[in-house]
Amino acid sequence: MNVLIYLVPMALLLGLTGLAGFLWSLKSGQYDDLDGAALRILPDDDIDS
Amino acid sequence: MAEKLDLSMFVERGAAGASHMTLAVEGVACAGCIRKIENGLTKLPGIIDARINFTQRRLAVDWRDGEIDAAGIIKAIEGIGYQAHPFAPERVEADDSAQAKWLLKCLAVAGFAAMNVMLLSISVWAGNVSDMTQETRDLFHWLSALIALPAAAYAGQPFFRSALRALRARQLNMDVPISLGVVLALALSVFETATHAAHAYFDSAIMLLFFLLCGRYLDLAMRRKTRVFAGNLASLKAEFAHRLEASGELTQVPVAALNPGDRVLVRPGDRIPADGAILGGTSEIDESLVTGETLPRAVGAGTTVYAGSINISGALTLRVTAAGAGTLVEEVQRLLDKAIAAKSQTVRLADRAAQFYAPVVHATAALTAVGWLIAGASPHDSIVIAIAVLIITCPCALALAIPAVQVVAAGSLFRAGVILNGGNAIERLAEVDTVVFDKTGTLTLPEPGIDETTDIDSDILERAARLALSSRHPLAAALARRARERIAYSGAVEEPGQGVRAVIDGEEARLGGAKFCGLAEPEQPTAARDSTASFITFTRGGKTATFAIRQALRPDAIAVAKALMGRGLHLIVLSGDRPAAVAPVANALGIGDWRAGLKPAEKIAVIDALQAQGRRVLMVGDGLNDAPALAAAHVSLSPVTAAHLTQAHADALFLGDHLKPVLRAVVVARRARSLMKQNLALAVIYNALAVPIAIAGLVTPLIAAVAMSSSSMLVTLNALRARLAADGGLAPAAVDRLPNPDSNGSAMSAEAASLSSVPFPKLTAKATPRPLLEDISA
């Protein structure tokens, strides 16, 4: 069971990274315009042909 | 000289000459539109950034002053092919947005904690029936505490704060038992962990918070969506006034930027932008939005006029006066204040349930502890079992039962074209047994249309309608909406106060008053022949046609009235208009109870008397004179064309030319209420099953977790049925696309053009009011 000593902190750390990622994306306004984000990937005019 | 456009009230000045403005944009429907507008704008000199929020149909623009201005940006967007309306963000919206972000953060923290604690809990449950050592179990419990305690302290704030607020006001709401349950569950778990016990309830506490936060967030998200839409509508409908500067120049300013003392020019066909006194000019004005009266009133210098009236014939100069100076506005405001003060705070279903539920639950827990003590259990065991009772009864399902239905019902109302202002309007709508309608603009269309009963040659109608495009007269505007080809004849000349003339295909055509069109005296239609209509005559090449222009019923008014009565509702018409104008409407709809010529105070008196009889009144009205009655009624609806003050006091607005949203609102609300009751019943059944197990002392954390999540799922799934029932079989209203405003600023008249309107039957049978109204007449 000694493996828990580093497995549990690692699992928690990974979870916390996910939470921090979500909070960051929330703060940077990525959820402000969900419908728009779905449409913005469609046009190709940002690609130099 | 081109008139200057002053939009400074919408512009936020930033540092170093940078400016920012938000605009509501119409017609943005695809990825291409986003690109076109954003690229088109950023190419312009001086634009720093332009970004469209597609979800909200809004455009945020930043630019450097001096290189381009607000009016230039709007013109540029118009050049790209879209209509943009400057937008003044409201405080409520900003508050909601901050609140939503906060809830989402709490939700994220609770979600993270719930997942990790559950991971540890499942290990403990599995270990308890196999070979887990006590040391490992304690480690897992302490780890759970490490995650759950800070997470609950953070994510539980929305509930703790609301519970504290309620307790300070010496009331109970659903958040009180929730907070108590969470805090006690956590405290008990810490104690049990410290004493090396086998069970801890960290997962229950944190999962409860997670489920409830989901409900809260969805509720707020729905409210935000309707609010954003309402904000866009308001900016679309925002009107501009022509302000006369001291230099004599005219500036176009948003109505909201007018101050008392400003001088304003009102051209024929324009809506009067603000309350004021006339300085110069004479005209007739249509005050139907203010008083419900459909006959125009003659006004001249010195007359007081009210915002929302339509100037018909001559140009007027107006001095804007502060609110309260006008007798009518003052009276309406005074009645409003009184009605709001008198309105008893209706207790929400959820709070009523909480007031009943919380004492019962807490008493049960206390009795359990006492019972086990008497039965000889140790104080520790008795308290543990009592707290288990509290945890299992913690109103997870109960607290979701009502918000979940509310979210779904508000969503289907939104799709049906009903925008809710207040949160508990759905519950109050469901209780309604009497519907009081205003006439003008509510049962009838907000703008007059031509009478369809008499046969009109479609060729003549088309020519007359196209000629009417060249006129600013409101009667001509009603005719012009019928033009299929929307191109004005070239060379058309308007003779103020008389009519328009043009040469069509080599023959002179005239549209206007009977005399202007050369009709002989006996042929002229007069008000005596038909007092409910105004007439406009068209003549070309010896052929003459006279169109009767009148307030037409909303296209589906008769069907809706019948359907409402079919659902057991009592209908009443209360109008400020003349009896001769109200009777035909009431007759057409089959409404026996009607009264005409009412002042605002009399409308309130009738509604108060009805409510004193125990009736729950839904008031539907649009005029300024209806505002106090709307506030006094149990619940109220307004068409979106209503006066500003009136809209502010309505519980919900409905869109479009149809009256069907009123029916839909009642149907959806009744359905929602029955689902709320079902959900409450489900929650009670759950408790009836779970509580005996808890009292018997058999609840383990595993049972608590399963019971709580399954009951929450059950009520949420049941709530979704509100959507199935409400949307099934009914055509969806086009809410997603924004309505087109026309030059008069009315949002719906573009649709009016394509819809046939039902004319009033002639005034033949005289209706007599039925006893109910005579009893209660003040």
Alpha helices in A1-49 (DSSP H): 4-27, 34-40
* CA atoms within 13 Å, Cβ hemisphere of B350: 21
Mean pLDDT of B494-505: 79
Can you say how many angstroms the Cα of residue B497 is from the centroid of all Cα atoms in its chain?
A: 39
Condensed to tens digits (0 to 9), the pLDDT of residues B142-152 reads 999 999 999 99
* Whether B572 and B709 share a structural domain: no
Q: pLDDT for B367-423, tens place per residue?
A: 999 999 999 888 888 888 888 888 887 767 777 888 888 888 888 888 888 888 766
Q: Which of B31, B101, B112 sits opposite A39 (nearest CB)?
A: B31
β-pair partners for B436: B572, B619
Q: Which residues from chain B sit within 8 angstroms of residue A6, using beta carbons?
A: none
Nearest Cβ partner for A19 among B34, B109, B133: B109
Residues in chain B closer than 8 A to A22 (CB atoms):
108
In whole numbers, what is the pLDDT of chain A averaged over residues?
86
Count: domains in chain B: 4
In a domain, B326, yes or no: no
List chain A residues with CB under 8 Å of B116. Answer: 11-12, 15
Chain A contacts of B32, Cβ < 8 Å?
A: 43
Does position B756 have pLDDT exceeding 70, yes or no?
A: no
B89, B104, B132 - which closes a domain: B89
pLDDT for B513: 78
Closest-CA residue to B426 (of B438, B440, B416): B416
Minimal CA separation from B113 to chain A, in Å: 9
CA distance B96 to B90: 10
**Do both B129 and B195 map to the same domain?**
yes
The answer on pLDDT for B758 being more than 90 is no
CB contact under 8 A, A36 and B34: yes
Q: Which of B511, B533, B550 is the endpoint of a domain? A: B550
Q: Which of residues 28-47 of B touch A (CB under 8 A)?
A: 30-32, 34-35
> Mean pLDDT across the stretch B466-490?
78
Within an 8 Å CB–CB cutoff, is residue B738 touching chain A?
no
Q: Indicate if B131 belongs to the active site.
A: no
B84 falls within a domain: yes
A31 CB neighbours in chain B (<8 A) are 104
Alpha-helical regions (H) of B514-642: 557-566, 579-589, 600-612, 627-632
Which residues of chain B make contact with A12, given a CB cutoff of 8 A? 116, 143, 147
The pLDDT value recorded for residue B329 is: 67
Q: Is B714 a residue whose pLDDT tops 70?
A: yes
Tokens, residue B350: 């959820």
Question: Out of B56, B105, B115, whose CB is closest to A23?
Answer: B105
Instruction: Exactly one of B6, B69, B438, B451 is catalytic; name it.
Output: B438
Dihedral sign for Cα atoms in the order B606, B608, B610, B612 = negative
Mean pLDDT score of chain B: 80
Residue B115 touches partner A, C-beta closer than 8 Å: yes
B60 near A CB under 8 A: no
CATH code assigned at B71: 3.30.70.100
Under an 8 A CB cutoff, do A11 and B116 touch?
A: yes
Same structural domain, B9 and B152: no
Q: Tell me how many degrees the CA angle B193-B199-B204 measures, rounded to the nearest 5.
A: 100
B596/B4: higher pLDDT: B596
Q: How far is B36 from chain A (nearest CA, A)?
A: 11
- A36 with B55: Cβ contact below 8 A: yes
Q: Is residue B319 in some structural domain?
A: no
B385 and B476, same domain (yes or no) = no
B134 has pLDDT over 70: yes
Weakest-pLDDT range from A29-43, B193-207, B309-323, B427-441? B309-323
Report the residue of chain B nearest A34, measured CA to CA. Answer: B55
**Domain extent for B646:** 407-446+554-669+734-776
Q: B133 pLDDT exceeds 60? A: yes
Q: Are B696 and B770 contained in the same domain?
A: no
Q: How many CB atoms lie within 10 A of CB B689?
A: 11
pLDDT in tens, B526-578: 545 555 677 788 888 777 888 877 778 888 889 999 999 998 999 999 988 88
Global pTM reads: 0.76
User: Which pLDDT band, with edges at 50, 70 and 90, does B2 fall under?
Assistant: low
User: In the 3-class helix/strand/coil scheme, how is B411-479 assigned residue by residue?
Assistant: HHHHHCCEEECCCCHHHHHHCCCEEEECHHHHHECCCCEECCCCCCCHHHHHHHHHHHCCCCCHHHHHH
| Amino acid occupying residue B90 | E
The reply to whether residue B116 touches residue A15, judged by beta carbons under 8 angstroms, is: yes
Dihedral of alpha carbons B536, B537, B538, B543, sign: positive
Number of Cβ within a 10 Å radius of residue B308: 25
Residue B407, number of CB atoms within 10 A of its CB: 22
| B31–A34 CB contact, under 8 Å | no
What pLDDT is stored for residue A48 in this prediction?
67
- Among A13, A17, A27, A40, the strongest candidate for a mutation testing the B interface, having the largest count of B CBs within 10 A, is A40
Average pLDDT over every residue of B181-208? 90
Examine residue B289 and state whether it is found in any structural domain, yes or no. no
Contact A1 B136 (CB under 8 A): yes
B483 and B538: one domain? yes
Per the CB < 8 A criterion, the answer to whether A33 and B53 are in contact is yes
Of A4, A15, A26, the CB nearest to B105: A26
Is there a domain that residue B146 lies in? yes
Residue B706 is predicted with a pLDDT of 84
Q: Do B708 and B617 sit in the same domain of this protein?
A: no
B124 chain-A contacts, CB cut-off 8 A: none
Q: Which of B389, B326, B403, B398 shows the shortest CA–CA distance to B361?
A: B389
Q: What are phi and psi of B237, to 5 degrees?
A: -85, -10
- Say whether both B218 and B141 belong to one domain: yes
Question: Under a CB-based contact definition with an 8 Å cutoff, are residues B72 and B7 in contact?
Answer: no
Helix (H, G, I), strand (E, B) or coil at B578: coil
Per DSSP, B261 falls in state T
Residue B351 lies in a domain: yes
pLDDT given for residue B69 in this prediction: 84
Task: Give B474-484 pLDDT, tens digit per residue.
Answer: 777 777 777 77
B464 and B560, same domain (yes or no): no
DSSP assignment letter at B624: G
Query: pLDDT tens, B451-464?
Result: 766 667 777 888 88
Three-state secondary structure of B660-717: HHHHHHHHHHHHHHHHHHHHHHHHHHHHHHHHHHHHCCCCCHHHHHHHHHHHHHHHHH
| Nearest residue, CB atoms, B55 vs list A23, A35, A43 | A35
Examine residue B330 and state whether it is found in any structural domain, yes or no: no
Phi-psi region of B81 (alpha: psi -120 to 50; beta: other; left: phi over 0): left
Which of B89, B106, B135 is the last residue before a domain boundary? B89
In terms of domains, do B739 and B698 share one?
no
Instruction: Please tell me the distance from the alpha carbon of residue B686 to that of residue B682, in angstroms, as a whole number.
Output: 6
Going by C-alpha positions, the residue among B388, B333, B340 that lies closest to residue B364 is B388
Same domain, B358 and B420: no
Domain assignment present for B282: no
Q: Tell me how many residue pairs between chain A and chain B have CB atoms under 8 A apart.
A: 51
By mean pLDDT, which of B46-50, B324-328, B749-753 is the weakest? B749-753
Kindly list the residues of chain A whose beta carbon comes within 8 Å of any beta carbon in chain B: 1, 4, 8, 11-12, 15-16, 18-19, 22-23, 26, 31-36, 39-40, 42-43, 45
Looking at the structure, tell me whether residues B539 and B615 fall in a common domain: no
Tell me if B435 sits within 8 A of B571, measured CB to CB.
yes
Contact B351, B642 (CB under 8 A): no
- Is B119 within 8 Å of chain A by CB? yes
B285 neighbors B309 (Cβ within 8 angstroms): yes
Higher pLDDT, B763 or B297: B297
CA distance B168 to B2: 61
Most B CBs within 10 A among A6, A12, A14, A24, hence the mutation to make, goes to A12
* B154 in contact with chain A, both atoms CB, cutoff 8 A: no
Tell me if B34 and A8 make a contact (CB, 8 A cut-off).
Answer: no
Residue with tokens 């001095």: B319
Q: Using an 8 Å CB-CB cutoff, list chain B residues near A40.
A: 31, 34
- Distance (Å, whole) CA B210 – CA B705: 12
| Cα(B490)–Cα(B508) distance, integer angstroms | 13
**More confident of the two residues B166 and B396:** B166
